[in-house]
Amino acid sequence: MKKFLQQILASFIGNLAGLFFFFALSGAGLLIFFFALLLSGNTPKIENQSALVFNLNTQISDSQSESNLSSLISSNNTQTLTLREITLAINTAAKDNRITTLFLDGSQGNITTGYASLTEIRTALENFKASGKKIIAYNVSTGETDYFLTSIADEINLNPIGGMEMNGFASSQLFFASGLEKYGIGSQIIRVGKYKSAVEPFTRNDFSPESEIQTSELLDDLWDSYLEVITKNRPLKTGEINNIADNKGILQPEEAKDLKLVDQLIYEDQIIDRLKTITNSKDEDTFHQVTIRDYLTANTSSDTPQNNKIAILYVEGSIVDGEGRIREVGSNRFVNEIRKIRQDKNIKGVVVRINSPGGSAVASELILRELQLTASEKPLVISMGDVAASGGYWIATAGERIFASNNTITGSIGVFGLLFNIENIANQNGISNDVIKTNQFADLGNTFKPKTEPELAIFQQGVEKIYELFLERVSLSRNLPVSKVVDIAQGRVWSGKSAQKIGLVDEIGGLDASIQYLNEKLQLNDNYDIVSYPESRTWEIELINRLNNTKLANNLTDKEILTKIIWELNTELNLKDILQNPHQVYSILPYKLNIK
């Protein structure tokens, strides 16, 4: 095993192999090294009249990021923070006399986070601004996502060589039907819900009329919410922004200033000088500042732990059967985590934070069952992030109250099955398949032939049963007649704003709002600790687990095991994993919405 691990490190981290060998000479070497680093670290010092710096290129996730191999060997050193870390730092700084300014720093890159998450950050920024403190923003170039935050600033600064994108929202989709046909790969679908279009990329070459309608209306909803937000603190009207989006799209810096989208065109050194003045540090190399991570470190509470706890269960990623990989919601793993929450007597309430497009219907039901059992013993509410759709909404039906952002993408209450066959491509390459069987449906899983009508009927029956169960779950949870649920289901996607109007969501609010709801319901008077589930995994632990499991399950060489595991750990082909569901029934978003 030791030799095998050395081979892995040599293959992927060649220039660090010597360092690994050095520490491997002593079993405690690596432990001593990290312990020494820990001891050498100093608590960041916060000067009076400091600026809290929020780097806009920060990678933002709901839960603590789980590292994979690609992140280990990547040269990208972008800072990663959780959404709650950011909002907590901003809200705390609003009351901190040492912090006078908040600097939204876009000099190193742009925001890539979804609008629901950005809405929660913007709420914290509004709180900061309401305290009477300034917010100053600077970008080299800026787009809609950056402007969603920076539009709240007292001063919006843009580099004179930069530019500004303001051209509306669009969503594009790849379609593979002709490609699959060209290469002799057949596909058959079974689905319930006319808007449940997750299968369309494999069966069509363009959007269906139903997909076009729902996507258009969703984008209009999101764009209207966007316009409402960015015009709130600027001398602009929604009609003016739409005129820019229709006739300009990309603005030169001078145009952005003339149209009052930004206040000043200045270089980075000039904004630093401006911040030096604000923070009373003119004679120093740079302004008094503290990053969000350092600010949180410096303000780590030493209070006595509370017996009362609120658990946040982060359901983040595609929902799959089994344990799931890093950044996936594996049903077995999450069932165990939910049981831990239920059995912990100090946990008084639970927030289920969902940021998932769905996935396996069976896995969703297994997770839902454990949440329902937990909800029978302690209050449980749902907080929706950027996406809580299909299987993500299935899980949400466990909550007594559902919180979402106007910009949350939710709904997609529908079910589908997708069946591929490779008969044509096999025949084209001289490969044939013959079957001897004892019963009519013994070869139901044969991928070398298309399914017959009786076989398709079996799968259709399974899909319809799951759909009926989905409707029942929603009906009971939302106290709606099944007939009403049928009208708003059909696999259709809704914005959080529209979902509230039709009864799928209770309240517009973020993660903090859901926590506050439990605080008040349980009468905790702010005397509680937050505990997070599930425990974050690293690629090292994941690799060791997979090495053991793979070697036990397969008679493979070390090289074959390495190839198999590295591919699994380092791929982004989420659909491949979702479609491993043995029941072949899924509840997932119509397609991966890529809104720009």
Active site residues: 196, 390
Name the 3-class secondary structure at 6: helix
Decide if 28 contacts 50 (C-beta within 8 A).
no
Q: Look at the alpha carbons of 343, 344, 349, 351 in this order and tell me if their dihedral is positive or negative.
A: negative
Distance CA 496, CA 83 (A): 19
Q: Residues 332, 335, 340, 344: what is their CA dihedral angle, to the nearest 10 degrees?
A: 180
CA distance between the termini of the chain? 46
Distance CA 163, CA 262 (A): 11
User: Cis link prior to 160 (omega < 30° from 0)?
Assistant: no
Neighbours of 582 (CB within 10 A): 9
Length of the chain (residues): 596
**Residue for token digits 């000099």?**
107
The tokens describing 523, both together, are 């009468």
Distance CA 288, CA 495 (A): 41
**Type of residue found at 236:** L
Distance CA 224, CA 406 (A): 10
- Radius of gyration for the chain, computed over Cα atoms and rounded to the nearest angstrom: 26
Q: Residues 500, 506, 507, 512: what is their CA dihedral angle, to the nearest 10 degrees?
A: -130
Going by C-beta distance under 8 Å and a sequence separation of 6 or more, which residues neighbour residue 468? none
Q: Residues 9, 15, 19, 21: what is their CA dihedral angle, to the nearest 10 degrees?
A: 50
CA distances for 89 relative to 84, 137, 155, 291, 389, angstroms: 8, 17, 21, 10, 29
Going by C-beta distance under 8 Å and a sequence separation of 6 or more, which residues neighbour residue 505? 384, 402, 403, 404, 408, 410, 496, 499
